[in-house]
Amino acid sequence: MVCFDTTFMIDLLRQNPAAEKKLNSLIKGDDGPCMTVITVGELFYGAYKSKNVEKEKEKTKEALSGFLILEMNERGAEKFGEILSTLDQKGQKINDRDVMIAAIAMSKGEYRMVTRNKKDFERIPNLTVETY
């Protein structure tokens, strides 16, 4: 399985050809897609910021169908603390939401992340980052 970051999902919603090509290659490889509840929240945040809230909310709900949504639990919270501490020790700072996305995925055994935000996610130890 592979976990999709918010940037990838946004690009899919915007029908970005590179993102669509990546999705098709993953589907052909029988990789089941998942995302975290943090990504879901970020997608709805974008919908509520839009000029046409109801249309964008429906578009988001439609895009979420067929995805396994990974939720935060105590193990994910511990992983979040571990990753954040490791990055702090290295003097590296990345967005806490990105750390949460990675922590949730990794706590569920998902170590592959598809994102356009390679520079931040590649700093997270043991996470394989794929871009498009």
Sign of the CA dihedral with 104 first, then 106, 109, and 113 last = positive
CA distances from 130 to 78, 90, 127 (A): 24, 23, 10
Sign of the CA dihedral with 117 first, then 73, 63, and 114 last = positive
- Asked whether the beta carbons of 16 and 115 are under 8 A apart, the reply is no
**Along the 132 residues of the chain, how does pLDDT read in single tens digits?**
899 999 999 999 999 999 999 998 888 776 678 999 999 999 999 999 999 999 999 999 999 988 999 999 999 999 999 999 999 999 999 999 999 999 999 999 999 999 999 999 999 999 999 999
Cα–Cα distance, 104 to 6 (Å, whole number): 14
Instruction: State if pTM tops 0.75.
Output: yes
Task: Set out the domains of the chain in order of their start, with CATH numbers.
Answer: 2-130 (3.40.50.1010)
Give pLDDT, residue 20: 95
